[in-house]
Amino acid sequence: MTLPNDSILVTPGSGATLASHAVSSKEYEAWLKSDGAGSLDVEPYGIWVAKSGTRYKDTATGGRDNERMYLFNNDASLIVEVLSVVVAESFGSDFAGSDDWHTTLYRISALDWTGGTSITPVKADSSFGSLDADIASGWYDGNSSPPTFTLDGGALSRLVFRSAHRGTLHHLLRPLWGRDMPPIILRQGEGVGIEDAGAGLTNTSNLYEYAIIFRVR
């Protein structure tokens, strides 16, 4: 490791006090990093987590994967940034089959959520206000008719999970979208939706849970 090889002398005057850190008699200015929208990085203020409950994987119907969870922004001025989407799989019973199942993240342009259950997102820091009522999240709990939403374009991302209980790596929380890529921006009338299905469509041993971590600005 190498220490900086020079320094500059700053003459204090009036005004604010800049944060710094002294190492070997030199002052290092302490910075905060922000993103292009001016939001501070690694800042829990304004961060929400919307998480689904646990549900057995259902057989897909109507020639389309099952709609599982959504986050939708219908506010005219607020912007939602989807920072990450994570998935966990577990088992409710033995299953020795070989039909894996996949989960896919899409943009959605409209919501026709006739079934399922709404989600009350949880704050990452309790010191900020309530979530705007125009920002909504929900998931399919299997207790009503399957909900639908309108996909806006092709897949943003896909993950595959092994169906057989003999396999490994089932119970990990896996990112369907993560901080290694830029956030997905949701303006008014925009959302993200999660679908899943199994290739064999017969295995209902798998349980899934989803979570969407997002920021409102």
- Residues near other proteins (CB under 8 A): 13, 16-19, 29-36, 38, 40, 81, 97-102, 104, 106-107, 152-164, 166-169, 174, 176, 179-185, 187, 190, 199-200
Q: Nearest-CA neighbor of 191 among 61, 85, 40, 54?
A: 85
Minimum distance from residue 186 beta carbon to other proteins (Å) = 9
Select 120 or 169, whichever has its Cβ closest to other proteins.
169
List the structure tokens of 166: 């003999």
Select 58 or 99, whichever has its Cβ closest to other proteins.
99
Minimum distance from residue 63 beta carbon to other proteins (Å) = 13
Largest CA-CA distance found in the chain, in angstroms, rounded? 74
Minimum distance from residue 64 beta carbon to other proteins (Å) = 12
Minimum distance from residue 92 beta carbon to other proteins (Å) = 18
Select 55 or 107, whichever has its Cβ closest to other proteins.
107
Cβ partners under 8 Å of residue 191, min gap 6: 70, 71, 72, 73, 107, 108, 109, 111, 149
Minimum distance from residue 126 beta carbon to other proteins (Å) = 19
Q: Is the dihedral of CA 90, 96, 97, 98 positive or negative?
A: positive
Q: What's the 3-state SS for 176-207?
A: EECCCCCCEEECCCEEEEEEEEECCCCCCCEE
List the structure tokens of 75: 């506010």
Could you tell me if 106 and 192 are in contact, meaning their C-beta atoms sit under 8 angstroms apart?
yes
Task: State which amino acid sits at residue 111.
Answer: L
Select 89 or 137, whichever has its Cβ closest to other proteins.
89
Select 55 or 65, whichever has its Cβ closest to other proteins.
65
Q: In whole angstroms, what is the distance from residue 192 CA to residue 134 CA?
A: 15
